[in-house]
Amino acid sequence: MNCPYCSSENFKVLESRDSLDSIRRRRECDKCGKRFTTYEKIAIDLMVIKKDGRKEPFSTDKLRKGISLALEKRPFTADNVDEIVKSIERELKKLKSHEVSSKIIGDRVIRKLKAIDHVAYMRFASVYKDFEKVDDFKEELKILAK
Ligand SMILES: [Zn+2]
């Protein structure tokens, strides 16, 4: 990376702020003293292996959508959703793997939701686990009641 004004490669970072999928850094060039902002994308280089064996690139949007749906009309804000998405992404990065099964991701979402809201947890679990029988639901409720 070079300073857009003088092409120097040396700068100070004045401020850096994380957003969901990028890091914004305010920089000051050591040579000419001008300031500029850079955005670094935090790409998650991850393939998700689905239940049927197909693979698709990990999608933050998809993860966020699933969690938002589960938390719909519950007392949570978009920031809460982002927090959960971020923490799951952090955990996935820690796996240091290029492939992860959709089950591992789903299990993590379920664990987070369970910790914050039982209704959201049940909603997500019912979709995610493909509950076919009412009995499955009852089993989950029993686990929750403990
Ligand atoms: Zn410069």
In the reported structure, the alpha carbon of residue 47 is separated from the centroid of ligand 1 by a whole-number distance in angstroms of 39
| Length in residues, the chain | 146
Amino acid (one-letter) located at 88? I
In the reported structure, the alpha carbon of residue 135 is separated from the centroid of ligand 1 by a whole-number distance in angstroms of 66
For residue 132, count CB atoms less than 10 angstroms from its CB and return exposed for 0-12, middle for 13-18, buried for 19 or more. exposed
In the reported structure, the alpha carbon of residue 24 is separated from the centroid of ligand 1 by a whole-number distance in angstroms of 18
Choice among 15-19, 59-63, 67-71 with the minimum mean pLDDT = 15-19
Contact 63, 109 (CB under 8 A): yes
DSSP of 40-106, one letter per residue? Answer: EE-----EEEPTTS-EEE--HHHHHHHHHHHHTTSS--HHHHHHHHHHHHHHHHHTT-SEEEHHHHH
In the reported structure, the alpha carbon of residue 16 is separated from the centroid of ligand 1 by a whole-number distance in angstroms of 19
In the reported structure, the alpha carbon of residue 19 is separated from the centroid of ligand 1 by a whole-number distance in angstroms of 26
In the reported structure, the alpha carbon of residue 1 is separated from the centroid of ligand 1 by a whole-number distance in angstroms of 11
pTM to 2 decimal places: 0.61
| Token couple for 73 | 């009309």
Choice among 21-25, 47-51, 95-99 with the minimum mean pLDDT = 21-25
Contact 88, 108 (CB under 8 A): yes
Q: Sketch the domain layout of the chain as residue ranges.
A: 11-41, 47-145
pLDDT digits (tens, 9 = 90+) for 13-41: 998 887 766 778 899 999 999 999 988 77
In the reported structure, the alpha carbon of residue 22 is separated from the centroid of ligand 1 by a whole-number distance in angstroms of 23
